[in-house]
Structure 1
Amino acid sequence: MIIDRRSVLGAAMAIPALPALARAPVPGALTGFVDPFIGTDGTGHCFPGPSRPFGMVQPGPDNAGSGWDFTSGYQYRAPKIMGFSQTRASGTGIPELGDILLQPVLDPRDDLASHYDKASEVARPGYYAVKLADNGASVELTCGLRVALHRYRFARAGRVWVLVDTEHRLRFLTKEPVDTASVRTTTTGAEGSITATNWTKRTIAFALEFDHPVAEVRPLPSSKAPRYLLGFDLGEHAVLQAKVAVSTTDVAGARANFAELPGWDFDAVARAADAEWEKLLSRVRIDADARTKRVFYTALYHLFLQPSIISDADGRYRGPTGQIAKARGRHYYSTLSLWDTFRAAHPLYTLLIPERVDDFVLTLLDHAKAAGTLPLWPIWGGETNTMIGDPALPVIADAWAKGFRGFDGQEALSAMRATSTTDHAQSDWSLFDRYGYYPTGKLSNEAVSRTLEAGIGDAATAKMAAMLGDAESAKRFGARANGYRALIDPETKLARGKDSNGAWRTPFDPLTATSPLNNPGDYTEANAWQYSWTPALHDVDGLVAAMGGRAAFTTMLDSFFSLPGKESKFLGQEALIGQYAHGNEPSHHIAWLYAWSDRPERGPELVREIATRFYKDTPDGIVGNDDCGQMSAWYIFATLGFYPVNPTSGDFVLGQPLVAHATVSLPNGKTLAIAPGKDGRVINGEPLTRTIAYRALMRGGVLRLSGAEGNHP
């Protein structure tokens, strides 16, 4: 059954109306342009529940507990809500988190999932509300940084019930939800600690408090973690509230986190959440129509949902080996989708939230201190070993190149060298060093993609070493970064698999995409055409030369954007223009490469087409997983008119802004205004060619961007 948002189910149930807070955003506020439903229908895998920026808790509705479509717990057109869990990831391709599910209901029954009144569903930054048609209750959610706050309005007074399911997880279909659990009920709720293995092994501790005493406890069938129906006796207002604090460490840590939300003033907490988001969103202001503002500010909102803070109020957190440590910075972060976010999201953080960048890097270094190598894809403190390459390397080098000094450079370089020389989950350096590339036949899959991604990390390590005066390491890793050149087929000019004897992969079909879902294959969620542009992320001039020079490079780009492609939901083949697949990250920089071609004006044309076709202010408005804000980061950069093709260079490739005017608030009261220009590209009167430096942007002033004519030297 599919629900239209404007349909009303269960109209006969006298469910209380939601309060005015649910219906009235502040007039003129930027939060009014954020629609958390964007990206919740289809492959965006976003969620509509509330969060604070980079929040540890992100409570929201779960329609299902497993499956590709429900990696965030929610799909816009799903007909039922099974309950409201407290943690999740935004836009990922694998389900995880979904801890401590609550579900209000008037009367106990076997299946507590409920149809819901789609017309009643409201989502804004820091607030979510819905009416449960079958359960006789309306639900409102808001939160602090580490504490979720629920408010339930029941259709009648008297004895009502809340399901407390500590076994529920967002998980793979084949996985048991819980390894071990120690949970108990209290006079006002429940508390406990649970260890579960799904995408990673992790520990979740929680403390649950209601604003009414528990009148009755009914245990429900479960496996390794308890499920309860808790009964409450309500007066004539029939309102019940619940607070859920979470921790990666222990119950004491969860209880201590309650201090951030004292009392039970739900409306005040929701207003505070809205105000916090308003302050952050106002760092960028654009002049545009309402539709563009909705897409843009929702993208900005999605960008700031993750990485997620996982350290307690006292700074403690549980890291990748299960150890409990204390954050060196203000916070320790996880849910780092680094293979995606190193490309644009992290460079955008350096521009929009520079005050958090040092803590991001300290998180990476603390992970390496515990695990021996830098993280690949950690969530809730645990390592998933997902995706390829070593994408933490460019994040660190980029921060140092841009002048961030809140971490020790030598410690960072040491961790980068260890990660670039020690065999680990996705990097077999002894094999790579023997051949200078990853040969087919020696790896089970993804040999070409892994070679190309290795170059990105090696170039980042070489740059970091050069900046710190380590000439030997700079030379070593700089040379190894050129390994990709061995795989550029001189006949097709594409990156092609090569075995340990130096023989090319035959037969060779550059249009067939491969991924972990249909390996063996040489590419990661992409085909040869799509992955061959990866070396441009660190050596665009070398790639131009390898493809035969600028004229040949232009021809290759033109062919890439015109060759027909076949969309496939699971192979990163969404949002196609020719072979360009905007639904997956390996394509994200390619339109910007026209700045190195004989047709520099073509790049801004394509960027505008991509932004217009594949970003909408509708629930299906993100095509492809948002991947913790990377898809959103691309749109934000496109709107502003520049992009970090090489994310460790400290430079941004210039294009054309998608709006008439934009203003970025910078540290120390400075502002950067982006406006149309008549005479090429200039900042504060100084002419620019192809790129602009980060430091020039951070000095503020006026950046004027006109056409791309004459952009190349």
Structure 2
Amino acid sequence: MTDGSRMKMKAVKLLTYWLFSLACFALATSSHAREKQPISFVDPFIGTDGTGHVFPGAVVPFGMVAPGPDMEDRGWSYSSGYQYQARSILGFSNTHISGAGIGELGDVLLQPSAGTKWTPATTNFRSSFDKATEQASPGYYAVTLKDHNVHVELTAGQRVAIQRYRFGRAGKVQVLLDLQHGILFGDGPRVLKSDVQTDAASGKISGTIWSKNWVERQASFVVRFDRPIKHITTLPSRPGDQAPRFILEFDLGRAKQLEARIALSTVDVAGAKANMAAFGQPSFEAVVQSARSSWNTLLRRIDIDASPREKRIFYSALYRTLIHPSDIADVDGRVRGPTGTVIRSKTGQYYSTLSLWDTFRGVHPLFTLIVPERVDGMVQTLLDHHRAQGYLPLWTAWGQETWTMIGNPALPVIADAVVKGFNGFDREEALAAMISSSTNPRPNAPVWAQQDWSAYEKYGYLPYDLGEGEAVSKTLEYGIGDNAVARVAKLLGKHDVAQRFEARARGYQKLFDPQTKTMRARNQAGGWRTPFDPLVPTSPMNNPGDYTEANAWQYTATPALHDAEGFRTLVGGASGLRVWLDTFFSLPSLGDNKHLGQEALIGQYAHGNEPSHHIAWLYAFSDTPERGYDKVAQIAQAFYSDRPDGIIGNDDCGQMSAWYVFATLGFYPVEPASGRFTLGRPLVSNATLHLANGKVLQIDQSRAADVVLRGQALIGPMVDYHSLMAGGKLSFPLRGSQPPTAN
């Protein structure tokens, strides 16, 4: 080949690269594309500044791998590895959790650099970066590292991540491969042991890392570069290190580009290799386009008529609801379960990053509408977990139980699916798992994870003088699960079981203090907790007490999550509920405290944490439902924006985002296990749901006095799932019109 031919080929390659980069982001500024492509409105940086803890890197819907930048490896603010205001990057790891309040994952960190400046004596591999070069869209992330003279691009498939580096100069380059790295909950080191193999000639490094952080787990990996590794330097171990850190040297010759592909497995290296093999050899550009196509397929299921700003907020929220839970099964369906044993998924899917205490409220009910094809696999995951662990999961990461948060939040998720007619799992097994998780001891669980049920069964509530704290919150959350068991049992004809758990679910009535109009702790003798200040929030990690990241006011409406009418009766009927809600939204708070769930405040309402999320919708059951419409609109306008600080409070694996999606559509699953949605008013003039069953649900606003579905007025404040899935037109009165009557 002549020198002239080589120069032409290089020019063509460079032109192709820049055309591709331009194409990836031209859509974001094209008015025509904005009309046609929902993905163009998604901004992954929304929620990355402050307490949203959103992950801005590359991921496909429900993806196992998620490559992205890590700016720190510990600290509450960096639980996703990222903060928008930070100005330097440690490197790019390949697994992340978006929106959680605890740090975990961050597997297989890579950091590239032009030249050969690093030596065994180097301790700082961090680089500043040019903020103007930082770009993110669904399935793609890019940034230029200023100190290392390299442009980094990331994309992902389901189980394989790709990192591509374009160096500022040709020749020799280095890549740090840090297998000790992880995003930490507390102080490190995290690695217990490691087994790593290198194959420089083939450009491959593989192995398994056993670690203990938020969970104890193992992650197997294969890193494959697109050229041989010229030299491998093992860095000196630091105190506590149990996994190697390598400086990998490459000679690119006249080239300036290097690519690494990273496959992960929960099972073993063979699983990671099989995942890599199944991925094939698609180009970086093809993987980006495949990821974009996957996102567009799901985002197109909802169309809204709104301003560009409103679309940015909405589609970014919808995007975030579809990042988790992560399907962590290998290509052959194998996965390492919660006890460390390998199981094979019946559906080929196995979901983790299950933030159930958060997501049972809105995310999972949203899935039944927009991704119903995923629901059976998610429920089957819960049952597989139960079969391995002995009880249903609470909060899982990488398939392992974290025992985080309280209640029995898998139960309403299962009941939601059963009530709505999903049957891709054994319903009898599901009910048995629900009953077992609500009655059997958990000797291997921490004390806060309800090791024993005898006191709860005996008193109908958890006495504060018998437990380890959070007595009121736990009692109220268990009532949600009890009601879920009763609903499923009734559907399956187990009426004695249904009656037992219906009675348990009414235990909340024993904790209602009519003097303060709040839920208040009692002891074994039935005496109230004294002294008592219903304004003081508590949390087991910061201010131990009877409530979980909330105060008495914020937890009092929890029973409405399974018995909205019963809660209305408890506080004095429709007018009494209006008075209670008016007081709730106007009573001054003690101020912001992000570690006690006190963010995004309106009176006692704290939108930054889940116990408050349904409360504005409860006006629908009062004699002034229009006040709820105004409150929902106020919350949406005050606490969501299209800026990096556009989420106040952890996104919690999509729950904050799901709330906004439902608010936009005009209804919300106040009782998430009931199969019904509480009606409000949409935030947009028109929305269209393209349902997976082929039907279309058209939402609009009219001057009619009633909410009308397919020409029939809806009586009362609720609509059931099956009615929505039948499609047709759902017309809401304009805000300010006569509201529907609450029964």
Same fold per superposition (TM over 0.5):
yes
Displacement of 1:557: 0.4
Partners of 2:662 and 2:668 within 8 A in 1? yes
Deviations 1:491-526, CA, capped at 9 Å, x for gaps: 112100111111101111000000123333000000
Q: How big is the alpha-carbon RMSD for the aligned residues of Structure 1 and Structure 2?
A: 1.3
Partners of 2:153 and 2:164 within 8 A in 1? yes
Partners of 2:593 and 2:599 within 8 A in 1? yes
Partners of 2:127 and 2:146 within 8 A in 1? yes
Match of 1:124 in 2: 137
Match of 1:9 in 2: none
Distance 1:434 1:527 in 2: 26
Match of 1:408 in 2: 426
SS in 2 for 1:84: strand
**Aligned pair 1:593/2:623, yes or no?**
no
Distance 1:388 1:149 in 2: 37
Matches within 5 A, 1:68-79: 68-79=76-87
Percent identity between the aligned chains?
A: 55
**Aligned pair 1:417/2:435, yes or no?**
yes
Deviations 1:437-485, CA, capped at 9 Å, x for gaps: 0001111210000000010000000111111001111011110111111
Distance 1:221 1:293 in 2: 50
Distance 1:264 1:407 in 2: 35
SS in 2 for 1:594: helix
Displacement of 1:668: 3.1
**Aligned pair 1:700/2:730, yes or no?**
no
Match of 2:709 in 1: 683
Displacement of 1:22: 5.0
Matches within 5 A, 1:656-667: 656-667=681-692
Match of 2:226 in 1: 211
Match of 1:11 in 2: none
Match of 1:10 in 2: none
Displacement of 1:710: 4.1
Distance 1:350 1:305 in 2: 16
Consecutive unaligned residues in structure 1, runs of 5 or more: 1-15
Match of 2:349 in 1: 331
The match for 1:181 among 187, 194, 201 is 194
* TM-aligned CA distance change 1:264 to 1:233, over 3 Å: farther
Matches within 5 A, 1:500-519: 500-519=524-543
Distance 2:438 2:367 in 1: 25
The match for 1:463 among 487, 508, 516 is 487
Displacement of 1:595: 0.7
**Aligned pair 1:635/2:665, yes or no?**
no
Distance 1:650 1:133 in 2: 53
SS in 2 for 1:465: helix
Deviations 1:77-115, CA, capped at 9 Å, x for gaps: 111100000001110000000000000012314311000
Displacement of 1:162: 0.4
SS in 1 for 2:479: helix
Matches within 5 A, 1:291-330: 291-330=309-348
Match of 1:67 in 2: 75
Distance 2:509 2:53 in 1: 36
Match of 2:12 in 1: none
Displacement of 1:214: 0.3
Displacement of 1:340: 0.2
Q: Which has more helix, going by share of residues? A: 2
Displacement of 1:708: 5.4
Displacement of 1:21: 4.5
Deviations 1:176-234, CA, capped at 9 Å, x for gaps: 21011101211213100011111111110000000010000010123100000000000
Displacement of 1:712: 1.6
Partners of 2:573 and 2:622 within 8 A in 1? no
Distance 1:520 1:379 in 2: 25
Q: Which deviates more, 540-549 or 674-683?
A: 540-549
Distance 1:539 1:563 in 2: 24
Partners of 2:707 and 2:740 within 8 A in 1? no
Distance 1:172 1:664 in 2: 39
Displacement of 1:291: 0.5
Deviations 1:132-163, CA, capped at 9 Å, x for gaps: 00011010000110000011011111110000
Distance 1:643 1:400 in 2: 19
Displacement of 1:260: 3.9
Distance 2:309 2:215 in 1: 39
The match for 2:670 among 645, 650, 653 is 645
Distance 1:353 1:630 in 2: 16
Distance 1:500 1:371 in 2: 31
Match of 2:699 in 1: 674
Deviations 1:675-706, CA, capped at 9 Å, x for gaps: 11221201000111311110000000000011
Match of 2:236 in 1: 221
The match for 1:275 among 269, 275, 293 is 293
Partners of 1:137 and 1:152 within 8 A in 2? yes
Deviations 1:270-297, CA, capped at 9 Å, x for gaps: 1111111111100000000000000000
Partners of 2:600 and 2:649 within 8 A in 1? yes
Distance 1:542 1:72 in 2: 39
Give, as a single letter, the amino acid of the residue that structure 2 aligns with 1:101. L
Displacement of 1:569: 1.7
For normalisation by structure 1, the TM-score amounts to 0.96
Give, as a single letter, the amino acid of the residue that structure 2 aligns with 1:310. I
Match of 2:97 in 1: 89
Distance 1:708 1:186 in 2: 72
Displacement of 1:345: 0.4
Structure 1 ranges of 4+ moved more than 6 A: none
**Aligned pair 1:622/2:652, yes or no?**
no
Displacement of 1:172: 2.1
Give, as a single letter, the amino acid of the residue that structure 2 aligns with 1:585. E
**Aligned pair 1:399/2:399, yes or no?**
no
Match of 1:52 in 2: 60
Distance 1:22 1:264 in 2: 17
**Aligned pair 1:340/2:358, yes or no?**
yes
Matches within 5 A, 1:430-441: 430-441=454-465
Matches within 5 A, 1:239-254: 239-254=257-272
Distance 2:619 2:453 in 1: 33
* TM-aligned CA distance change 1:617 to 1:260, over 3 Å: farther
Q: Which deviates more, 594-603 or 104-113?
A: 104-113
Match of 1:446 in 2: 470
* TM-aligned CA distance change 1:44 to 1:131, over 3 Å: same
Match of 1:7 in 2: none
For normalisation by structure 2, the TM-score amounts to 0.93
Consecutive unaligned residues in structure 2, runs of 5 or more: 1-16
SS in 2 for 1:329: coil
Match of 1:478 in 2: 502
Displacement of 1:548: 2.4
Match of 1:569 in 2: 594
Aligned residues: 698
